[in-house]
């Protein structure tokens, strides 16, 4: 039997104005189990709290009800007070007689009557309260960042700076991601490499950061604070510890005709290669698909020229397992394939290119050493047409229904840079809408129009016809209601961007949720934008939605802050009000796990002794306290009632119902 | 058919492939056939039966039997295989321990319907094609088989087995039944008429728990009605209210999981049409969330453990005219 | 003849994150609604077991309303979607049994919708008052 | 292998060659084309208006007749192919039309889009196989430069026609290669020649067809092949370029060595 | 105007596509092989139908300029498929008494010996009732 104390607050006249607080306190004295009841001016004041503390000690209270303002206001205050004198904080219940009573009723009799019922309801609940303790789980103080683009690098640097070890897993031989392929960045036009490569070097040199390049995550177990991740280190046939990155092998390799993916296939590299000069780690990698030695066993040139003896043709994929407290997903994006958009003749003419290819064509380290030349004949283009929204805002199966967000700005950048470097080139941009919500973004776009004389035309390109060495562009001009024909030299398509293909299988491993476009979903779209609903999984960069570089970096740092907030704890306090399954009643039917948004429920086979002394193995649900958020969805779906929620148990809620209806 | 089944059962018992066979045997009366577990050829020769009165759904017995060592053979009619699948999806049965023999079914006979024609005192029954001959203490009758078919068989939803290891007889198809017509008829009554209808039906309940005990979906380790801690324990009917509550709660607990096998109504000694509660849920689920047949696909997610963002609001019920 | 004004008993289940906060806001803004409404705080609308609703009616409640975050805004991301299906089916069943469907309601009230909370309660109380006492689901033994 | 065959009205009159050479070639390839009995004109143009139903009935009849025989329905004329395939699609997607068609036709077994409609080119690609076809060629074209003219109706709308990539098709080019020619890829091969307006807006039709032919010529074509009688007429009549336009079946029959038999 | 509204509804129903899905990108007009011959361009058909401005569309010869080549149907990114509106307006027009665009007595002058049947059949199908 509980010994319950009731404390009725006047809240000045806020409550006492329409509720006869004395009458409430008096009425409570006659409730079952109530051994003490009083009222006071301000319960939340220090003096008020002392009344509570003293009463708990003096009357050996096992539970208390505070009739006051909303629990959203002072529940924590009163719980702390109770705890300070040894009463479990979950033995405190609040009857909300201010927001839900005195403030909404004008009549003293009505207010008092209702306040008594609310107090009685809280007393009825406290009768069934049980002391709860938040479980604790130790936190592994190491973070994993999946993806080594600017998002992953920034997140890793911030976490490392806070003093926590962090590993980056990057599937390519180098970190750097898409940003390393970009020439200049909007709206400031600073060189991408100049701002990115120092960060790459920082990451490599930071003693808290370990980079697993040419590696992939192949398995994830565990939960927040305690993930166990298997990383597959793909064989690169070069001993990372020995390779000095001198690059001699990449010059001597006789296999010269490998499409260079860093330049999007616009030039060629060798079968052994370092993606680009500033690659991190600067280690050669052998492309097994092209290496003559690996394919036929005859060659071995790279091995002969390597003075460090780093070449190892027998290298195999290697799997390592590491423990992490938090995982950040930073898998980034790719432009979509354009094979379903051949009205723009992408596969029919070399001079129809994507915007990312355009970046490489204007980059000093690109295939043309930074000169804007047509891929087909190496001539300088004099008329360039940019097409926006290729595949974006397209509701058909081949398209993406969303806006890719970055295309308006990078196209303005391309147009502006072209006009700046080659004033003799006419530049046309066809747009549906120009979307420039960002700091100095619209000014940037207007400058392209006003200062650089880029022709922005409200309309769309309908067909590109390669004819001779020209590209006949048929387009619409919706302002003047006409159809235009432009004989262009180069057409640049702003292809929609989509999440990297590795994201979906990764999401499955992480049990993180995704939307239909394969972008990771946030725990809350407004208030928790860098966290996945799965505890301990954080989101950084374009894997969560299209983003430009400033937004990506901002989100990357935000994700890092969340990770640091988690890793800084030695132990994690779990939510005390978690679900719990009574294994004696559990059917093992799995319905609870199906509705759990957090994957907090798993199943084990357990042996039970039967009344006839035989044993029977049954499958039963087990709730992971560290992961459960306490929503209660599972409790209702459980047919046998085995699943219940601590702090909001079936019996507690029914006691409240009974008290109200009494 | 019965002989084929017996031989199959004996064959598998003899080879040691299965430890036991779940089938049907005769009860006290000729029409009173009950599920039974057979463990040797002798028992099968003496007791095994498969006829027009083998309505019982044997899938639920697997929960207990398939926990023991060795494999169990079970004979399942098309509608029983749905329950079987549903139990599989809820991990109540270890599939590897069961050898399912699907048996075709052309509907089972409802003894109550026969009694309504011939009265009590039945001593012998035999069916021959589409006729049933009945011998009572007082007279002999011949009844059209079609007239004696159980309601659930008249409105059979499927003659197709959705799970089996081996099939005896012909495979049928999923049927376009009229099983929701009666639900619709009740829906079309006024609220007062509906209340009267159900009060009349449910007030006959004697809380014998037969419906619960037979229901394959009601297979909880511990039923909330038997659990002192659940807050719903009540074992005897005191007022009509309780029958309301008991049956609403039971129907809700099996909603989305009930395969509409109709066992609840078959076993109700008071003849309460309990299936009309379950079918109401099924009908609502089909209309509101898209057609769903529990047990059709053991991998499918049930309607109450899934959702879509565009689900109708509860106001479709509360605000309807 | 004695004129006794009927005062219904209304149980309101409110989710902690949206609707309970919305109810608090109604209070903060001093928006009136009848004292017949008593709120039970639950973490999420998906915590509301249909059995709680039946229990309330059994104990003599005249109306039960469940309030939660708007679909798509659930604090637990998906809880209210499950609640929506459960309650829709339960209400439909009660209607099928001839119990007045107007006694049950689900309303989505956000933490910012204090006015909506008050208006909803006013409307619901008025509706239930018009229906009068809940007799069809009440367990007379629960009334002393 | 037996297929139902829908020739269409023009193939019985002005485009007899298209039909004749197809039949001869099919025979040589071991394909049995069984002409539907009592077929009616498909209407020549598919009406995009959802409520135009009467004009689509003849197509449904042809489709239903093929279903009765349990055979896929082979077409040859691009226009017929387009109409039949689109109507067939309607018969699985346009509820209103399905109901009304069933009401009109009052067939015992109502037609619900069961028949598979394939174009003769698809027959060559998917049933015979271009590799197999190549083996059967006795008079290869000898590297003749042939331009494929697809026009509109074979490819679009691709959601329904589903024959090839509508923007960069390869089926006729592959066909040309199989019979020993060298395909000429030119950008206007899937641009409309203006056939539908040839009757009453001649000047416009001249513009459109000339554009197509000029493009083919510029890219080195020695002749153009097509599957559409209307395109053939329009290009021949209105295209201001001297370039032979032939049916693809004629080249096929020639290559298979069956052309001269008649 | 109720008449106009009624007409709008008829045209939309007949077209079977939703003009509200149009995001006004203009790809239809851009891609139309006959766009320059049209007084009202394909994108204007969509917008004017949505506004209920059907009369001017019925009275323009743009409805006979559409080649029915399905280029805009194929390439519309929003599934609006403008040719369907042009067809719907044309059908609405020729269904009116005496509004046949092509009359039988005009045919002989237009014929030539090579003209395939389908040219005549389709011309009638498209332009007359």
Judgement on whether residues B184 and B66 belong to the same structural domain of the protein: no
Where residue C4 falls among pLDDT bands split at 50, 70, 90?
low
From A213, A192, A545, A214, select the one nearest A356 (Cα to Cα): A192
Q: What is the pLDDT of residues A133-178, one digit of tens each?
A: 988 889 999 999 999 999 999 999 999 999 999 999 999 999 999 9
Judgement on whether residues A244 and A205 belong to the same structural domain of the protein: yes
Judgement on whether residues B7 and B139 belong to the same structural domain of the protein: no
Q: What is the pLDDT of residue B244?
A: 67
D abuts C (3+ Cβ pairs < 8 Å): no
Question: What is the C-alpha separation between B157 and B180, in angstroms, rounded?
Answer: 10
Q: What is the pLDDT of residue E57?
A: 95
Q: What is the pLDDT of residue D262?
A: 47
Question: Which chain D residues contact residue A472 at CB under 8 A?
Answer: 187
Tokens of B304: 């109450």
Judge whether A567 and A139 are in contact, CB under 8 Å. Answer: yes
Q: Would you give the DSSP letter of residue A372?
A: -
State whether residue B234 sits within 8 Å of chain A by CB: no
Q: Would you give the DSSP letter of residue A531?
A: B
Correct CATH for E2-96 of 3.20.20.105, 1.10.1060.10, 3.40.50.300, 3.30.70.100: 1.10.1060.10
Q: What is the pLDDT of residue A136?
A: 86
Sign of the CA dihedral running C87, C92, C93, C99 = positive
3-class SS of residue C76? coil
- Which burial class, exposed, middle or buried, applies to A375 when counting CB atoms under 10 A from its CB (0-12, 13-18, 19+)? middle
Judge whether A574 and A364 are in contact, CB under 8 Å. Answer: no
Judge whether A203 and A280 are in contact, CB under 8 Å. Answer: yes
Judgement on whether residues B189 and B251 belong to the same structural domain of the protein: yes
Determine, yes or no, domain membership for A503: no
Whether the per-residue pLDDT at E32 is higher than 90: the answer is: yes
State whether residue C78 sits within 8 Å of chain B by CB: yes
* Domain CATH number, residue A630: 3.30.70.3270
State whether residue A242 sits within 8 Å of chain B by CB: no
Do β-strands A537-539 and A326-329 pair in parallel, antiparallel, or remain unpaired?
parallel
State whether residue E112 sits within 8 Å of chain D by CB: yes
Where residue B242 falls among pLDDT bands split at 50, 70, 90?
low
Sign of the CA dihedral running D131, D135, D141, D142 = positive
Judgement on whether residues B140 and B48 belong to the same structural domain of the protein: no
Judge whether D13 and E117 are in contact, CB under 8 Å. Answer: yes
Reply yes or no: is the peptide bond before residue A40 cis, omega within 30 of 0. no
Judgement on whether residues A154 and A278 belong to the same structural domain of the protein: yes
Neighbouring-strand partners of residue A476: A483
Judgement on whether residues A281 and A207 belong to the same structural domain of the protein: yes
Question: Best mutation site among C85, C105, C109, C141 for testing chain B: the one with the most B CBs within 10 Å?
Answer: C85
Q: What is the pLDDT of residue B211?
A: 92
Question: What is the C-alpha separation between A448 and A431, in angstroms, rounded?
Answer: 14
State whether residue A345 sits within 8 Å of chain D by CB: yes
Question: Best mutation site among A467, A471, A473, A493 for testing chain D: the one with the most D CBs within 10 Å?
Answer: A467
Q: Which residues of chain A have pLDDT under 70?
A: none
Where residue E110 falls among pLDDT bands split at 50, 70, 90?
confident
Judgement on whether residues A461 and A555 belong to the same structural domain of the protein: no
| pLDDT, mean over chain C | 89
Judgement on whether residues A211 and A360 belong to the same structural domain of the protein: no
Domain residue limits, chain D: 2-120, 130-256
Look at E119 and D199 and tell me if their CB atoms are within 8 Å. Answer: yes
Q: Residue written as tokens 């006839």? A: A612
Q: What is the pLDDT of residue B221?
A: 87
How many folded domains does chain A comprise? 4
Look at B318 and C71 and tell me if their CB atoms are within 8 Å. Answer: no
Q: What is the pLDDT of residue D257?
A: 93
Question: How close, in Å, is residue E39 to chain A by CA atoms?
Answer: 9
Question: How close, in Å, is residue E117 to chain D by CA atoms?
Answer: 5
Mean pLDDT for C85-91 is: 95
Range of the domain at B282: 179-321
What CA–CA distances, in Å, run from A36 to A92, A115, C66, D131? 14, 17, 34, 96
Judge whether A21 and A80 are in contact, CB under 8 Å. Answer: no
Q: What is the pLDDT of residue E88?
A: 94
Q: What is the pLDDT of residues B214-233, one digit of tens each?
A: 999 998 988 888 877 776 65
| A652 to chain B: closest CA residue | B231
Q: Would you give the DSSP letter of residue C101?
A: G
Domain residue limits, chain C: 11-138
Look at D233 and E115 and tell me if their CB atoms are within 8 Å. Answer: yes
- Which burial class, exposed, middle or buried, applies to E116 when counting CB atoms under 10 A from its CB (0-12, 13-18, 19+)? buried
Look at C85 and B311 and tell me if their CB atoms are within 8 Å. Answer: yes
Look at E77 and A394 and tell me if their CB atoms are within 8 Å. Answer: yes
Tokens of B150: 């159980």
Question: What is the C-alpha separation between A486 and A470, in angstroms, rounded?
Answer: 9
Find the angle CA(A351)-CA(A498)-CA(A228) to the nearest 5 degrees. Answer: 135
Question: What is the C-alpha separation between D144 and D184, in angstroms, rounded?
Answer: 10
How many folded domains does chain B comprise? 3
What CA–CA distances, in Å, run from C143 to A27, C57, C59? 21, 12, 7
Look at A589 and B305 and tell me if their CB atoms are within 8 Å. Answer: no
Find the angle CA(E65)-CA(E70)-CA(E75) to the nearest 5 degrees. Answer: 120
Q: What is the pLDDT of residue C140?
A: 54
Look at E14 and D51 and tell me if their CB atoms are within 8 Å. Answer: yes
Question: How close, in Å, is residue A611 to chain B by CA atoms?
Answer: 14
Question: What is the C-alpha separation between A285 and A271, in angstroms, rounded?
Answer: 8
State whether residue A389 sits within 8 Å of chain E by CB: yes
Total length of chain A: 662
Question: What is the C-alpha separation between B293 and B282, in angstroms, rounded?
Answer: 8
Question: What is the C-alpha separation between D216 and D148, in angstroms, rounded?
Answer: 9
E abuts C (3+ Cβ pairs < 8 Å): no
Q: Would you give the DSSP letter of residue A336?
A: P
Judgement on whether residues B12 and B160 belong to the same structural domain of the protein: yes
Residue from the list D49, D157, D229 with its beta carbon closest to the beta carbon of E118: D229
| C27 to chain A: closest CA residue | A99
Tokens of A174: 């180098």
Residue from the list E25, E71, E79 with its beta carbon closest to the beta carbon of A460: E25
Judge whether A392 and A376 are in contact, CB under 8 Å. Answer: no
Return all residues near D159 (Cβ < 8 A) that are at least 6 apart: none
Determine, yes or no, domain membership for A509: no
The architecture (CATH level 2) of C11-138 comes to 3-Layer(aba) Sandwich (3.40)
Tokens of B189: 């009554």
Q: Taking each helix axis from N to C terminus, what angle separates C50-58 and B240-254, rounded to the nearest 10 degrees?
A: 170
Q: What is the pLDDT of residue B239?
A: 56
Judgement on whether residues A261 and A387 belong to the same structural domain of the protein: no
Question: Which chain A residues contact residue D183 at CB under 8 A?
Answer: none
State whether residue A347 sits within 8 Å of chain D by CB: yes
3-state helix, strand, coil in chain D (%, to 5): 50, 10, 40
**Residue E114, φ and ψ in degrees, nearest 5:** -90, -10
Tokens of C6: 């009927």
Query: Cα torsion for B156, B162, B165, B170, to the nearest 10°?
Result: 40
* Boundary-marking domain end, from A446, A464, A498: A498
Range of the domain at A26: 4-128
State whether residue C15 sits within 8 Å of chain A by CB: no
- Which burial class, exposed, middle or buried, applies to D139 when counting CB atoms under 10 A from its CB (0-12, 13-18, 19+)? middle
> What CATH number does the domain located at D130-256 have?
3.40.50.11810
Q: What is the pLDDT of residue A311?
A: 96
| B318 to chain C: closest CA residue | C101
- Following DSSP, what letter does each residue of C7-60 receive, concatenated? ---EEEEEETTTHHHHHHHHHHTT----TTEEEEEES-GGG--HHHHHHHHHTT
Q: What is the pLDDT of residue C141?
A: 53
Judge whether D22 and D76 are in contact, CB under 8 Å. Answer: yes
Look at E116 and D43 and tell me if their CB atoms are within 8 Å. Answer: no
Q: Residue written as tokens 């025989």? A: D69
Correct CATH for D2-120 of 1.20.1050.140, 3.40.50.300, 3.30.420.40, 3.20.20.70: 1.20.1050.140
State whether residue D195 sits within 8 Å of chain E by CB: yes
Look at A394 and E32 and tell me if their CB atoms are within 8 Å. Answer: no
Question: How close, in Å, is residue A123 to chain C by CA atoms?
Answer: 13
Judge whether D22 and D33 are in contact, CB under 8 Å. Answer: yes
Q: What is the pLDDT of residues A232-263, one digit of tens each?
A: 999 999 999 999 999 999 999 999 999 999 99
Question: What is the C-alpha separation between A465 and A455, in angstroms, rounded?
Answer: 21
Question: What is the C-alpha separation between B85 and B95, in angstroms, rounded?
Answer: 10
Judge whether C110 and C69 are in contact, CB under 8 Å. Answer: yes
- Following DSSP, what letter does each residue of A123-165 receive, concatenated? HHHHHH-------EEE----EEEE--SHHHHHHHHHHHHTT--
Look at B92 and A587 and tell me if their CB atoms are within 8 Å. Answer: yes
- E strand or H helix at B186: helix B181-187
Judgement on whether residues B125 and B87 belong to the same structural domain of the protein: no
Find the angle CA(A33)-CA(A35)-CA(A37) to the nearest 5 degrees. Answer: 115
Q: Which residues of chain D have pLDDT under 70?
A: 261-262
Determine, yes or no, domain membership for A658: no
Residue from the list B187, B249, B311 with its beta carbon closest to the beta carbon of C51: B249
Judgement on whether residues A550 and A405 belong to the same structural domain of the protein: no
Where residue B28 falls among pLDDT bands split at 50, 70, 90?
confident
Each residue of A531-542: b (16+ CB within 10 Å) or e?
bbbbbbbbbbbb
Where residue C144 falls among pLDDT bands split at 50, 70, 90?
very low
Q: Would you give the DSSP letter of residue D224?
A: E
Question: What is the C-alpha separation between D180 and D141, in angstroms, rounded?
Answer: 5
**Residue C38, φ and ψ in degrees, nearest 5:** -120, 135
Look at E121 and D191 and tell me if their CB atoms are within 8 Å. Answer: no
Question: What is the C-alpha separation between D126 and A112, in angstroms, rounded?
Answer: 85
* Boundary-marking domain end, from A508, A543, A567: A567
Judgement on whether residues B201 and B320 belong to the same structural domain of the protein: yes
Question: What is the C-alpha separation between A28 and A36, in angstroms, rounded?
Answer: 9
Higher pLDDT, B90 or C135: B90
**Residue A222, φ and ψ in degrees, nearest 5:** 90, -165
Q: What is the pLDDT of residue E127?
A: 73
**Residue B292, φ and ψ in degrees, nearest 5:** -145, 125
């Amino acid at each position: 039997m509980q010994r319950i104390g009731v404390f009725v607050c006047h809240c000045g006249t806020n409550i006492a104005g329409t509720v006869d607080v004395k009458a409430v306190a008096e009425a409570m004295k006659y409730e079952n189990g109530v051994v003490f009841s009083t009222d006071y001016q301000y319960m939340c004041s220090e003096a008020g709290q002392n009344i509570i503390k003293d009463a708990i000690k003096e009357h050996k209270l096992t539970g208390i009800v505070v009739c006051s303002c909303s629990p959203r206001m002072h529940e924590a205050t009163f719980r702390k007070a109770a705890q300070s004198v040894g009463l479990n904080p979950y033995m405190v219940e609040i009857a909300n007689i201010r927001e839900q009573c005195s403030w909404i009723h004008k009549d003293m009799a009505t207010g008092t009557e209702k306040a008594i019922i609310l107090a009685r309801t809280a007393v009825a609940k406290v009768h069934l309260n049980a002391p709860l303790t938040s479980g604790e789980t130790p936190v592994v103080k190491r973070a994993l960042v999946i993806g080594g683009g600017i998002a992953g690098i920034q997140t890793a640097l911030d976490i490392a700076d806070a003093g926590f070890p962090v590993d980056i897993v990057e599937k390519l031989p180098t970190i750097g991601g898409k940003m390393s392929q970009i020439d200049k960045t909007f709206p400031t036009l600073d060189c991408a490499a100049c701002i990115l490569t120092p960060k790459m070097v920082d990451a490599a040199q930071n003693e808290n950061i370990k980079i697993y390049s040419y590696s992939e995550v192949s398995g994830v177990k565990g939960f927040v604070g305690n993930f166990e991740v298997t990383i597959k280190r793909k064989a690169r046939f070069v001993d990372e510890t020995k390779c000095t990155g001198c690059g001699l092998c990449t010059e001597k390799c006789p296999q010269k005709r490998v499409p260079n993916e860093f330049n999007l296939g616009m030039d060629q590299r060798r079968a052994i290669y370092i993606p680009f000069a500033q690659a991190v780690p600067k280690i050669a990698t052998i492309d097994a698909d092209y290496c003559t030695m690996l394919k036929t066993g005859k060659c071995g040139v790279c091995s002969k020229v390597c003075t460090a003896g780093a070449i190892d043709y027998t290298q195999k994929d290697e799997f390592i397992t590491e423990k992490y407290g938090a995982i950040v997903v930073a898998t980034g994006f790719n432009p979509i394939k354009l094979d379903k958009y051949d009205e723009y003749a992408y596969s029919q003419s070399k001079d129809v290119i994507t915007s990312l290819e355009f970046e490489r064509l204007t980059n000093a380290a690109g295939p043309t050493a930074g000169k804007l030349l047509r891929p087909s004949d190496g001539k300088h283009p004099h008329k360039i047409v940019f097409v926006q929204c290729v595949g974006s805002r397209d509701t058909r199966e081949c398209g993406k229904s969303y806006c890719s967000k970055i295309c308006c700005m990078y196209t303005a950048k391309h147009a502006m840079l072209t006009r700046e470097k080659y004033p003799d080139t006419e530049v046309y941009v066809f747009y549906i809408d120009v979307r420039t919500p960002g700091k100095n973004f619209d000014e940037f776009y207007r400058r392209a129009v006003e200062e650089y004389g880029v022709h922005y035309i409200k309309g769309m390109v309908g067909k590109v016809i390669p004819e001779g060495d020209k590209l006949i562009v048929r387009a619409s001009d919706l302002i003047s209601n006409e159809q235009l024909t432009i004989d262009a030299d180069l057409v640049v398509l702003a292809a929609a961007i989509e999440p990297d293909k590795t994201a979906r299988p990764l999401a499955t491993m992480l049990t993180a949720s995704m939307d239909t476009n394969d972008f990771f979903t946030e725990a809350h779209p407004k208030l928790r934008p860098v966290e996945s609903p799965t505890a301990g999984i954080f989101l950084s960069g374009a894997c969560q939605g299209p983003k430009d570089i400033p937004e990506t970096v901002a989100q990357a740092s935000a994700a890092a802050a969340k990770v640091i907030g988690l890793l800084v704890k030695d132990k994690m306090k779990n939510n005390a009000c978690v679900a719990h399954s009574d294994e004696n009643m559990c059917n093992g039917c799995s319905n609870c796990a199906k509705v759990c948004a957090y994957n907090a429920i798993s199943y084990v086979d357990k042996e039970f002794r039967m009344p006839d002394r035989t044993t029977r193995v049954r499958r039963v649900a087990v709730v992971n306290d560290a992961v459960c958020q306490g929503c209660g969805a599972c409790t209702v779906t459980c047919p046998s009632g085995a699943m219940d929620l601590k702090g909001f148990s079936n019996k507690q809620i029914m006691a409240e119902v009974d008290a109200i209806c009494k | 058919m019965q002989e084929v089944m017996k031989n199959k059962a004996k064959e598998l018992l003899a080879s040691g492939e299965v430890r036991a066979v779940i089938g049907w045997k005769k009860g006290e009366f000729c029409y009173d056939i009950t599920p039974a577990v057979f463990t040797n050829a002798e028992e099968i020769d003496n007791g095994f039966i498969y006829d027009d009165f083998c309505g019982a759904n044997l899938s639920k017995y697997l929960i207990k039997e398939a926990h023991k060592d060795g494999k169990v053979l079970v004979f399942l009619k098309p509608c029983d295989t749905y329950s079987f699948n549903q139990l599989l999806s809820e991990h109540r049965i270890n599939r590897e321990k069961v050898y399912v023999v699907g048996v075709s079914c052309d509907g089972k006979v409802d003894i109550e319907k026969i009694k309504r024609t011939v009265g009590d005192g039945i001593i012998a029954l035999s069916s021959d094609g589409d006729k049933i001959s009945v011998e009572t203490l007082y007279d002999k009758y011949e009844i059209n088989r079609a007239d004696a078919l159980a309601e659930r068989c008249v409105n059979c939803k499927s003659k197709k087995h959705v799970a089996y290891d081996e099939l005896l007889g012909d495979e049928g198809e999923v049927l376009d039944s009229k099983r929701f017509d009666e639900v619709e008829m009740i829906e079309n009554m006024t609220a007062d008429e509906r209340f009267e209808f159900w009060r009349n039906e449910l007030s006959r309940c004697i809380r014998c728990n037969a419906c619960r005990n037979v229901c394959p979906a009601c297979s909880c380790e511990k039923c909330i009605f038997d659990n002192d801690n659940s807050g719903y324990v009540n074992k005897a009917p005191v007022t009509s209210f309780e029958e309301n509550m008991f049956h609403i709660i039971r129907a809700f607990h099996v909603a989305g999981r009930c395969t509409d096998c109709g066992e609840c109504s078959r076993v109700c000694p008071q003849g309460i049409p309990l299936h009309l509660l379950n079918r109401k849920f099924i009908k609502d689920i089909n209309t509101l969330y898209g057609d769903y047949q529990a047990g059709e696909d053991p991998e499918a997610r049930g309607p109450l453990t899934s959702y879509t963002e565009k689900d109708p609001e509860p106001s479709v019920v509360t605000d309807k005219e | 003849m004695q004129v006794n004004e009927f005062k219904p008993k209304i149980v309101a289940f409110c989710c902690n994150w949206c609707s309970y906060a919305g109810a608090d806001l109604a209070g903060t803004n001093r928006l009136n609604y009848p004292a017949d409404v008593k709120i039970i705080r639950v973490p999420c609308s998906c915590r509301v077991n249909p059995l709680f609703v039946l229990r309330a009616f059994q104990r003599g409640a005249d109306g039960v309303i469940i309030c939660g975050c708007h679909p798509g805004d659930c604090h637990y991301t998906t809880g209210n979607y499950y609640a929506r299906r459960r309650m829709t089916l339960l209400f439909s069943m009660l209607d099928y049994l001839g119990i007045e469907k107007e006694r049950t309601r689900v309303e989505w009230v956000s933490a910012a919708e204090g006015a909506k909370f008050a208006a909803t309660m006013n409307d619901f109380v008025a509706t239930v008052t018009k229906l009068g006492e809940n007799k069809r689901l009440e367990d007379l033994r629960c009334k002393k | 292998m037996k297929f139902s065959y829908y020739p269409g009205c023009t193939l019985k009159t002005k485009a007899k060659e298209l039909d004749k050479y197809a039949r001869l070639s099919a025979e040589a390839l071991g394909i049995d084309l069984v002409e539907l009995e009592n077929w009616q004109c498909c209407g020549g143009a598919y009406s995009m208006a959802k409520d135009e139903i009467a004009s689509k009935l003849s197509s449904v009849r042809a489709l239903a007749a093929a279903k009765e025989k349990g055979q896929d329905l082979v077409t040859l004329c691009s226009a017929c192919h387009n109409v039949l395939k689109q109507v067939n699609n309607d018969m699985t997607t346009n509820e209103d039309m399905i109901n009304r068609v069933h009401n009109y036709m009052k067939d015992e077994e109502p037609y619900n889009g069961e028949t598979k409609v394939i174009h003769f080119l698809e027959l060559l690609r998917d049933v015979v196989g271009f590799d197999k076809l190549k083996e059967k060629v006795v008079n290869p074209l000898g590297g003749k430069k042939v331009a494929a003219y697809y026009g509109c109706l074979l490819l679009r709308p691709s959601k329904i026609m589903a024959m090839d990539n509508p923007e960069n098709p390869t089926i006729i080019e592959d066909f040309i290669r199989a019979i020993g020619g060298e395909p000429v890829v030119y950008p206007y091969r899937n641009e409309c020649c203006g056939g539908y307006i040839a009757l009453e807006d001649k000047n416009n039709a001249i513009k459109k067809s000339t554009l197509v032919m000029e493009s083919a010529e510029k890219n080195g074509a020695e002749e153009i092949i097509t599957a559409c009688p209307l395109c053939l007429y329009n290009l021949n009549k209105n295209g201001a370029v001297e370039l032979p336009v032939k049916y693809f079946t004629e080249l096929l029959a020639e290559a298979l060595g069956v052309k001269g038999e008649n | 105007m109720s008449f106009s509204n009624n007409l709008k509804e008829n045209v939309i129903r007949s077209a079977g596509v939703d003009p509200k899905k149009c995001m006004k990108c203009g790809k239809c007009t851009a891609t139309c092989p006959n766009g320059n011959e049209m007084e009202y361009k394909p994108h204007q058909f969509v917008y004017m139908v949505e506004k209920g401005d059907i009369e001017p569309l019925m009275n323009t010869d743009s409805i006979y300029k559409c080649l029915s080549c399905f280029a805009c149907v194929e390439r519309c990114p929003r599934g609006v498929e403008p040719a369907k509106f042009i067809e719907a307006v044309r059908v609405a027009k020729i269904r009116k008494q005496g509004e046949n665009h092509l009359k039988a007595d005009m045919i002989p002058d237009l014929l030539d010996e090579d003209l395939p049947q389908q040219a005549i059949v389709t011309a009638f199908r498209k332009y007359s009732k």
